[in-house]
Amino acid sequence: MNVQAYLAFNGNCQEALSFYGDIFNAEIKNRQTYEDKKIDVPGNYRGKLQHAELKGKGVHFMAYDAAPDTPINSGSQIHMSVDLDTVDEAEKVFKELSKGGQVHHEFGEREWGHFGRCSDQYGIGWMVNCDK
């Protein structure tokens, strides 16, 4: 079994995937725009992503720009969880993800290890973990 996240954005999916790709050393794959699709979207939305995947070592999720008539509620229905091997690496990723976003739980030591929770600049919730 394989369970993946599928993130929805309001027209800035390409920008968000580039941001995540830089943090996680991952690449955008299977990039498809609305350009040649028989979907009713405005002309200025045709270049937006209808589907894309971010893939790298230990990273694989899908994302798209929801059609303009699809309401998006700032990512409150999903949190991405990232498990890292070292506290330094986890703290670095947390700082990068939370830059321009909102910190909900400062990254720090907990009973089970190190943990922080934030929303990034695109409204996606992230839980960053290191069990050390």
Residue 74 domain-assigned (yes or no): no
Q: Find the Cα–Cα–Cα–Cα dihedral 90, 92, 94, 98, rounded to 10°.
A: 180
Q: Are residues 45 and 95 in the same domain?
A: no
Residue 126 domain-assigned (yes or no): yes
What is the number of other CB atoms lying within 10 angstroms of the CB of residue 116? 23
Place of tokens 């937006």: 48
pTM for the structure as a whole: 0.85
Q: Are 5 and 80 in contact (CB under 8 A)?
A: yes
pLDDT tens-digit readout, 34-88: 998 888 888 899 999 999 999 999 999 999 998 888 888 765 667 899 999 999 9
Separation of alpha carbons 106 and 97, rounded Å: 12
- Which CATH number do you get for residue 113? 3.10.180.10
* Tokens encoding 30: 């299977």
Range of the structural domain that residue 108 is part of:
79-130
Helix (H, G, I), strand (E, B) or coil at 78: coil
